Chains A and B, each alone.
Chain A
């Protein structure tokens, strides 16, 4: 199977992860339900998100546009998920140690856009240039590693039926609240 076919056939993998990530951060504990390199990761979803009824061309997109951080759309998003929709794109604020990242995560490709990395302190001179590059590289890599760690954490739950079943019970209880 070539990459394009694989991308199409397994598009749900990223969407399911993103939907799980939102449900886990909202229903379990947003203040660090997960640790990366021994430090809690705090996730805060912006309610500007895109939901779809599933992968494929015929999917019915539902786009929420609310003021940043506003929780007024929460019941609507919960209802959409209850109707079987999945999150295909969301903006997330990720806090880890003393660093804060903002990014938009696309579910189907796990593409990161609109990334705001924490501010760097290096200057513009020659030494500053290399230091600045290294700082930016470090920060981009940390963001990528946090996403990968979250993804691995999800996969281990998803691929262990008993644990996944428990997880679903928690999500469904929260969605019905």
Chain B
């Protein structure tokens, strides 16, 4: 569902804050490099987030395709996460609880004991799980200072807003119909101010 996919979806953001007056591309190169995606396939980290090429989620050094395309920046936001399904966790917790009850000869475990088992099992299973990769594309239109983000998922949008801020020290504000209307009407003087608009009655 990304920029290059046959079918896609996007939302728009306004970029908040000032871009560097000089050395903009050096600034971008430095920030993208420092926040490029780091693989977690060979360690036990649960989560990793970083920039990759839009064309290839394995390309975090942008050797295959550049992020600078004319007056635009195109980036893939890769998120890898180790996840354990609820059903698997439940099964292994039940097995461990049964083992401990049998070993100690007790009929039931306390709430604290069950919580401790759950924590330990989660940790063990997360380490065994393979990280699932997801890539969300973004296109930063520098002429308009607008970001098009190719996902309508709330969770993905939260990740983008945080990571964009962390990378570029610039905020993102989601464009909603009312703020789009404010921008489109900027400078126009109409009989009814936008702020006085009320729901229309078509019948």
Query: Which A residues are closer than 8 A to B by beta carbons?
Result: 3, 6-7, 10, 12-14, 16-17, 19-20, 23, 54-55, 81-84, 86, 108-117, 126, 129-130, 132-134, 136-137, 140-141, 144, 148, 151-152, 155-156, 158-161, 168, 171-172, 175
Determine whether the beta carbon of B4 is less than 8 Å from that of A110: no
Provide the B15-42 mask, 1 if CB < 8 A to any CB of A, else 0.
0000000000000000000000000000
Give complex CA distance A126, B175 in Å: 33
Find B180's partner among A82, A86, A148, A168 (CB 8 Å cutoff).
Answer: A148
Give complex CA distance A13, B179 in Å: 10
Provide a sorted-by-A list of 20 A–B residue pairs whose CB atoms are within 8 angstroms.
A12-B199, A13-B197, A16-B199, A82-B203, A86-B202, A110-B177, A113-B9, A114-B9, A115-B10, A116-B7, A129-B65, A133-B54, A141-B141, A144-B148, A151-B180, A151-B181, A151-B184, A155-B185, A160-B192, A172-B203
Determine whether the beta carbon of B177 is less than 8 Å from that of A160: no
A122 to chain B, nearest CB (A): 10
Determine whether the beta carbon of B200 is less than 8 Å from that of A10: no
Question: Within 8 Å of chain A (Cβ to Cβ): is B88?
Answer: no
A69 to chain B, nearest CB (A): 18
Give complex CA distance A16, B55 in Å: 38
Give complex CA distance A113, B149 in Å: 12
Determine whether the beta carbon of A171 is less than 8 Å from that of B202: yes
For the complex, would chain A's binding face be called helix, strand, loop or mixed by DSSP majority? helix
Give complex CA distance A129, B55 in Å: 8
Set of chain A residues within 8 Å of B3, measured between Cβ atoms: 133, 136-137, 140
Determine whether the beta carbon of B69 is less than 8 Å from that of A133: yes
Find A13's partner among B148, B178, B201 (CB 8 Å cutoff).
Answer: B178
Query: Which B residues are closer than 8 A to A by beta carbons?
Result: 3-4, 6-12, 54-55, 65-66, 69-70, 72, 74, 139, 141, 148, 152, 173-181, 184-185, 188, 190-194, 197-203
B155 to chain A, nearest CB (A): 15
Set of chain B residues within 8 Å of A161, measured between Cβ atoms: 191-192
